């Protein structure tokens, strides 16, 4: 995951997304670098327009932002997990006869 983040950061900073730059970003974060994974990512991104991929990605953050910004969220009623577990076990046992 850190390799993808490094590639996105490089793209955002308008730097070339290559093995050397990705390795440098990952090392700077304190993580160890796996050269094979870096090479695989660079090869996978060779024909990808990162800007278009970002635009096409679903935006879950925007939907969650208003809920997180609300100071007083409604509290849900507590769920009785014992009944939920019983129902799950019944469903599971029906699979095995």
Exposed e or buried b per residue across 49-83, where buried means at least 16 C-beta atoms within 10 angstroms of its C-beta: eeeeeeeeeeeeeeeeeeeeeeeeeeeeeeeeeee
More confident residue, 95 or 21: 21
Report the predicted TM-score, pTM, of the whole model to 2 decimal places: 0.57
More confident residue, 15 or 66: 15
Give percent of the chain above pLDDT 70.
60
**What domains are defined for the chain?**
2-62 (1.10.10.1410)
DSSP characters over 48-80: --HHHHHHHS--HHHHHHHHHH-SSPPPPPPP-
């Amino acid at each position: 995951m850190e390799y993808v983040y490094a590639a996105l950061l490089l793209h955002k900073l308008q730097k070339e997304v290559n093995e050397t730059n990705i390795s440098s970003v990952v090392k700077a974060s304190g993580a160890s670098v796996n050269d094979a994974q870096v090479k695989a990512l660079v090869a996978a991104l060779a024909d990808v327009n990162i800007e278009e991929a970002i635009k096409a990605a679903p935006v879950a953050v925007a939907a969650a932002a208003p809920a997180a910004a609300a100071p007083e969220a409604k509290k849900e009623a507590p769920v009785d997990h014992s009944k939920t577990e019983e129902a799950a076990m019944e469903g599971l046992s029906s699979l095995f006869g």
